[in-house]
Amino acid sequence: MSYVVQHWSGAWPVLAVWATAAALHLAALRRLQVRRRPRHAAALHGGMLLVLLALISPLGYWAGRYIWVRSIQDLLLAFAAPALIVLGAPREILARRPVRPTGWRLARPVAVILAFNVIWLGWHVTAAYDLAATNPAVRYLEYVSYLAAGIGFWLQLIGSRPALPPMRRLALLVGTAAADTVLGMVLVFGSGIVYPAYRGAGHHALSVLSDQQVAGAVLWMGVLPALIIAALGLINGWLDAEESDELSRDLDRVLGRAAVTPGPPKAVWHARSGYRRPTI
């Protein structure tokens, strides 16, 4: 029980940023007169609470002593919290301007996801990882980069206006899972200590090597639930789109519009998932 009630951090900068972000979100909703279902607001603020949990709870304290706890913290900041924030953020706030096909659009999707993977893997390189463990300024830079890159990552996959079709997003998702799998395998099956900064950091019941191997398993398996859920959503969206396109073609044939309309055939039923109505 003492592990839960002790070692809470009074990190005032973190609390101030959290309070400011919550206030800005509520102000934006009021200014834009956006009406969202309660579950959307719950998702966004749930993601923000996960950030607090990762930084000011005992999780933040023990992350400086055990590699496997830090792996949980990393997953919360880079994957779980950004995913909830993107799910809950109103599309009117995230994408108020019209989409331009030639625009950078929160960078090009492939570049954004590649940048996320570079940041994620880069912070797990020995030099950067150990420096963040001993230098508070570098550690906070790591936190901010995880959150920013994670939000950009999920915006390309599950955001309100993704630029790529579902199957391309699924391919990028699988590539991210593969990169994280390699990282986890290196830590699980490695025979040497990758992060020497954790030597003598209170490892009494668990050796540094064992701690490192458990951390690899956490990274390897811990990222899968979020990625699997996103992959299933993308596959479902792709199947809905395929079914919608087929239904549109069938309706065009039944209505005989292709025979009476000059020029190339044009679908009069828009291919969208869910309820459809004819164009008037």
pLDDT of 231: 87
Residue with tokens 């920013």: 148
> pLDDT truncated to tens, each residue of the chain (280 aa)?
455 656 666 666 777 777 777 777 677 666 665 555 566 678 888 888 999 889 888 888 889 889 999 999 999 999 999 999 888 876 545 544 444 444 444 447 888 999 999 999 999 999 999 999 999 999 999 999 999 999 999 988 886 666 677 888 888 899 999 999 999 999 999 888 999 988 876 666 578 889 999 999 999 999 999 899 888 888 887 777 665 555 555 555 656 654 445 555 444 334 444 444 444 4
| Integer Cα distance of 184 and 222 in angstroms | 10
H-only helix segments in the chain: 2-5, 12-32, 38-56, 58-63, 67-75, 81-88, 91-94, 109-122, 126-134, 136-158, 166-189, 208-222, 224-255, 257-260
Nearest Cα to 217, choosing from 190, 192, 244?
Answer: 190
pLDDT of 158: 81
What does DSSP assign to residue 266?
-
| Integer Cα distance of 32 and 3 in angstroms | 43
What does DSSP assign to residue 223?
T
237 domain residue, yes or no: no
Q: What residues make up the domain containing 61?
A: 2-96+103-222
| Integer Cα distance of 25 and 15 in angstroms | 15
pLDDT of 277: 44
| Integer Cα distance of 8 and 167 in angstroms | 43
pLDDT of 270: 42
| Integer Cα distance of 51 and 44 in angstroms | 11
Number of domains in the chain: 1
21 domain residue, yes or no: yes
Helices 81-88 and 136-158: angle between axes, nearest 10 degrees: 50
Give the rounded distance of the alpha carbon of 16 from its chain centre: 23
pLDDT of 182: 94
Alpha-carbon distance values, 192 to 42, 129, 166, 264 (Å): 43, 16, 40, 65
42 domain residue, yes or no: yes
118 domain residue, yes or no: yes
Nearest Cα to 208, choosing from 220, 190, 223, 222?
Answer: 190
